[in-house]
Chain A
């Protein structure tokens, strides 16, 4: 009976075990390692370059920070205490109520509606950054704006004076009419003029028309000047 070649006998198993024991742990003198086999250490010049670059970046950042701080400090140093207070008030108003700039925000949101969140985030930054340089320029405007009630209160007087001047300077047909006719002087009545609150543009127009016609306009100048504009 022929033995199957594939069947492993005990003799074969012993032979395999012996071969394994002899060769599994056998070592042979290996050739030296090839070039580039091991991880290349970081070159010293690259290390120094990286360190120098990092130091340069840090120094630049520190200088920028210092310059921005000095600019901010100098902007405050050039102002008086009252201006500083006004400036702070304006800054607080502009910071606290960015909705006071509806046009800017609406433009941004309408034109750049499809833009992602970062654009929307930038909108207050734009408003504040625009507000910051305008603060110095707008400070007097704010001051005049704060004195608008006083102006509006004073305007009826001015207009009254102007009307009176017109009445005085003009040939005054009404005076003639008053002298000739018996109709009440409704046109020249100063009561009509106090439209300063509601019909102010009309009154100013009348004033502007009245001033060139006035032979002595110097009387109106001191009164139209804002009282708080020159307080420094």
Chain B
């Protein structure tokens, strides 16, 4: 409760354009928003640009923020929209890679239904996705957008959004299963070697 009251006070001070409050806001939320920016961009440099532009928008439009919405969700939406704008701006310079061009995982690992993976592994797998698929997946799964919102933001059809999400999800499940199987085999090999040695 105290943190929500502090956040309200911080928001009010940011609405008054106080530099100290803005610094506190940046220190408090920049890590989380930078992670969001990294997921929606192709490089760290792009993510830094997106983060900077996003905070400029946040401080500029914070007066329009209403208390009945999640402040973090409001900021993350700004980051995602900024990343989409950034992506569109640099679209002509980027080589579009379809998800079909990504090398497939071995067949024997595809049927593993519940792979174990960590956050870093998931991020690594997401980073291998083409940006279009990655954006749809992150907007739907991480940020909570609906398909019609994604279609509107990205200027694509709703069915395109659904198909890209499905293909991105299956690809991630394959990659993560591969990683999990390799980790399990490494562990079993290590334990087998240890038993053989003993």
Contact = CB atoms under 8 A, between A and B. Distances in A.
Contact of A31 (B32, B34, B118): B34
Contacts of B166: 5-6, 8, 12
Contacts of A25: 32
B39 A23 contact: yes
Interface string B152-166: 000000010011001
Contacts, number: 85
Interface string B118-154: 1100110000000000000000111010000000000
B122 A22 contact: yes
A108 to B, nearest CB: 50
Contacts of A15: 169, 172-173
Given A15-B169, A16-B141, A20-B141, A26 B35 contact: yes
Given A34-B52, A38-B23, A39-B59, A19 B113 contact: no
B33 interface: yes
Contacts of A23: 35, 39, 119, 122-123, 142
A179 to B, nearest CB: 113
A33 interface: yes
Interface string B39-80: 100000000100110011001000000000000000000000
A15 B113 CA distance: 10
A28 interface: yes
Given A16-B141, A22-B119, A31-B34, A38 B169 contact: no
Contacts of A33: 23, 26, 30, 52, 55
Interface centre among A19, A34, A40 (most CB of B within 10 A): A19
A30 interface: yes
Nearest to A33: B26
Given A5-B166, A6-B159, A41-B19, A26 B119 contact: yes
A15 B19 CA distance: 41
A31 B48 contact: yes
A29 B163 contact: no
Given A12-B169, A31-B51, A19 B122 contact: yes
A6 B119 contact: no
B31 interface: yes
A40 B18 CA distance: 9
Interface of A: 5-6, 8, 11-12, 14-16, 19-20, 22-31, 33-34, 37-41
Closest 5 CB pairs of A and B: A27-B31, A30-B30, A30-B34, A22-B119, A28-B35
